[in-house]
């Protein structure tokens, strides 16, 4: 069973960002599978690093577009991303140095944050981007 399934109500109506969110979910599910199947640590580290890098790239893509279009809440959104990257740094360290049970618990924390972020903060930019021709 997957840790996290994409639901249509998660859409932010910007295809590039919806696809990025889906990719992040896929990577989280891949980490979950590696933990559950007790695969080697090299596989785990590889996917964890990909998740970390991809999340940072996605955050940057959102912020660049916000700044280009003059999104009023760009500063707050950037601050939320920065706080999450610090949290992700901490979780990444814990995931690399913890038991499988703790790994799964930390993945649930990531999942909860992502849902909250998409459904709250990211949903706020949907209408703004759409009005500016970003679909």
Question: Does 1.20.120.50 match the CATH number of domain 12-131?
Answer: yes
Question: Which pLDDT belongs to residue 98?
Answer: 67
Per-residue pLDDT of the chain in tens (135 residues, 90 and over written 9): 688 899 999 999 999 999 999 999 999 899 888 888 877 778 888 888 898 899 999 999 999 999 999 999 999 999 988 888 888 788 777 766 766 656 777 788 888 888 888 998 899 999 999 999 999
Q: Which of 118, 110, 111 is nearest to 94 (CA)?
A: 110
Element (H, E) at 36: helix 15-36
CA distances from 21 to 33, 50, 63 (A): 18, 14, 15
HSE, CB side, 13 Å, CA atoms: give it for residue 44.
22
What pLDDT is stored for residue 99 in this prediction? 63
In the chain, where the domains are located: 12-131
């Amino acid at each position: 069973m997957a840790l996290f399934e994409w639901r249509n109500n998660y859409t932010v109506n910007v295809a590039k960002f919806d696809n990025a969110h889906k990719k992040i979910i896929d990577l989280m599910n891949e980490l979950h599978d590696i933990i559950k199947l007790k695969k080697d640590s090299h596989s785990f580290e590889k996917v964890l690093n990909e998740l970390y890098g991809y999340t940072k790239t996605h955050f940057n893509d959102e912020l660049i577009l916000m700044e280009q279009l003059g999104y009023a809440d760009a500063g707050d959104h950037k601050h939320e991303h920065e706080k999450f990257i610090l949290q992700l740094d901490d979780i990444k360290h814990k995931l690399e140095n913890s038991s499988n049970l703790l790994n799964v618990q930390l993945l649930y924390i990531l999942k909860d944050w992502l849902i909250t972020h998409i459904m709250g903060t990211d949903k706020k930019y949907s209408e703004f981007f759409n009005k500016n021709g970003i679909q």
